[in-house]
Amino acid sequence: MPENIVSRFPPSELIILPLEGTDSGSLARSALAGGLLKEGANKDVLVVGGPGGLSREPESLDLVQHLLRAWDRPAVIDADALEVLTSDFF
């Protein structure tokens, strides 16, 4: 989740990884380099989101597209992330 909202969630309740965000508060493309895939490698479930959903910001959608291409397990995505599931994606 974007690092600017991590403090809203008690660490005892969630396993979270603060990631770089965009100026508008969505996840930044650089989150991939920031360890998102590395941290998720040993997890059965990876949930990626932001404070009001993922957003349709191009940078965040690009991150989702890269993540879905690299993720080899089931994924749950929000409605905003459906934007990347076009015929070009498959």
What is the SS3 assignment for the chain?
CEHHHHHHCCCCCCCCCCECECCCCCECHHHHHHHHHHHHCCCCCCCCCCECECCCCHHHHHHHHHHHHHCCCCCCCCCHHHHHCCCCCC
Give the pLDDT confidence score for residue 59 in this predicted structure: 87
Q: Residue 6 corresponds to which tokens in the numbers above?
A: 């991590």
**Out of 24-28, 30-34, 63-67, 68-72, which region has the weakest mean confidence (pLDDT)?**
30-34
Give the pLDDT confidence score for residue 11 in this predicted structure: 58
Output the pTM of the full model: 0.68
